[in-house]
Amino acid sequence: MINRRKFIENLSAAGALSLIPAGLKANPIIYDVSLGAKSLPVVISTWIHGINANAKAIEVLKNGGSVVDAVEQGVMIPEADPENRSVGLGGLPDRDGHVTLDACIMGPDGNAGSVCFLENIVHPISVARMVMEKTPHVMLAGEGALQFALENGFEEQNLLTPGAEKAWKDWLKESKYDPELNWENKPNEFHDTIGLLAVDQNGDIAGACTTSGLGFKMRGRVGDSPIIGAGLYVDNEVGGATATGMGELVIKVVGSFLVVELMRNGKSPQQACEEAVARIVKKVPENKIRQVGFIAMNKKGETGAYCLQPGFNYALYQDNINEMHDSKSFY
Ligand code: GLY
């Protein structure tokens, strides 16, 4: 058992608080995580914005929410953060100045929902969940996704914050499209997708993945994050995986599905992530100049992470400690 003070100490001891971007530090979200289980639940998510997302997911589980509630509400934290330049509100726009969002969610029952190229809705993950639960479909795109969201009570909001607009106008001066390595990890500048996996006390797994995609992308570009099997995959018999980084590389190897299938065939989550990255190295020539990271978790709550280039980190909540870890990399 751990009390609120101990949890804050854990964060501090791990140096995690010092890693939280200034915008988050001003108003840190710290939850009591007094859960009885020794090793489950476990929550893992990409990048520093995962710390608060994990904490929220754990809070939801503690309060009796389902594992799908936990992953959805976890990633809603960075979606609503206007300082986060890669997810939801405040995300970097495309080259024409439009913020377009991609998200997907998958539950332990194998059901899945997704939206892509969605504009003006702060929480694409919740629209994705509604696609999963209220329609016979998996994915809705663009205007159709927006129409569905509005019909179901979501409200439109301008997602282009002054900070993101300034970044776009600065970019327009040169209009050079060349995604920087690890741009995801520059606090208050660029991040990337949040992918979050949770296993609850019963060993049931769900995952959520949400992003504004590459900053200043071509209008209409959709990355890996809303594509079931690429940005996220969950199989409750095996485990789950999610991806971050340059989506084009992930899509070409159907990365998250690959990781889960490797686990199904006996690999540990760590071995599976490493083999999926090795597949990208073998098959996708841009691997030398782009970043991709995978995180994975099996039903026992064992986790893994691996990436192409140094610089990727992830947030792991396990045994009542929620802290950042540096991923090992191929290069
Ligand atoms: N991984 C996010 C994207 O490529 O859009």
101 CB-near residues (< 8 Å, 6+ apart): 88, 91, 115, 117, 118, 119, 121, 124, 159, 210, 211, 212, 213
Does residue 192 have its Cβ closer than 6 Å to ligand 1? yes
Closest CA to 134 of 121, 118, 119, 145: 145
Does residue 94 have its Cβ closer than 6 Å to ligand 1? no
- What pLDDT sits at residue 175? 82
- What pLDDT sits at residue 178? 67
- What pLDDT sits at residue 20? 42
Tell me the pLDDT of the chain (331 aa) as tens digits: 333 333 333 444 333 433 344 344 433 333 334 343 358 999 999 999 999 999 999 999 999 999 999 999 999 999 999 999 999 999 999 999 999 999 999 999 999 999 999 999 999 999 999 999 999 999 999 999 999 999 999 999 999 999 999 999 998 998 877 665 545 445 434 458 999 999 999 999 999 999 999 999 999 999 999 999 999 999 999 999 999 999 999 999 999 999 999 999 999 999 999 999 999 999 999 999 889 999 999 999 999 999 999 999 999 999 999 999 999 999 9
Active site residue 46: no
In angstroms, rounded to a whole number, what is the distance separating the alpha carbons of residues 320 and 306? 23
In angstroms, rounded to a whole number, what is the distance separating the alpha carbons of residues 35 and 90? 33
In degrees and rounded to multiples of 5, residue 169 shows phi and psi of: -65, -35
- How do the domains of the chain map onto residue ranges? 35-238+313-325
Give the Å distance between the CA of 182 and the centre of ligand 1.
12
Residue 243 alpha carbon, nearest atom of ligand 1: 1
Q: With DSSP H G I counted as helix, E B as strand and the rest as coil, what are the percentages for the chain, rounded to 5?
A: 35, 20, 40
Q: Give the residue, out of 75, 115, 180, 225, with the most ligand 1 atoms within 8 A of its beta carbon, to mutate for a pocket test.
A: 225
Closest CA to 295 of 265, 325, 266: 325
In angstroms, rounded to a whole number, what is the distance separating the alpha carbons of residues 260 and 63? 29
Q: Coil, strand or helix: which one is 283? A: helix
- Point out which residues pair with 326 in neighbouring strands: 313
- Reported as a single tens digit per residue, the pLDDT across 108-129 is 999 999 999 999 999 999 999 9
Q: Give the residue, out of 84, 92, 180, 224, with the most ligand 1 atoms within 8 A of its beta carbon, to mutate for a pocket test.
A: 224
- What pLDDT sits at residue 24? 44
Q: Coil, strand or helix: which one is 113? A: strand
Q: Sort residue 319 into left (φ over 0), alpha (ψ -120 to 50) or beta.
A: left
In angstroms, rounded to a whole number, what is the distance separating the alpha carbons of residues 309 and 286? 12
In degrees and rounded to multiples of 5, residue 318 shows phi and psi of: -155, 140
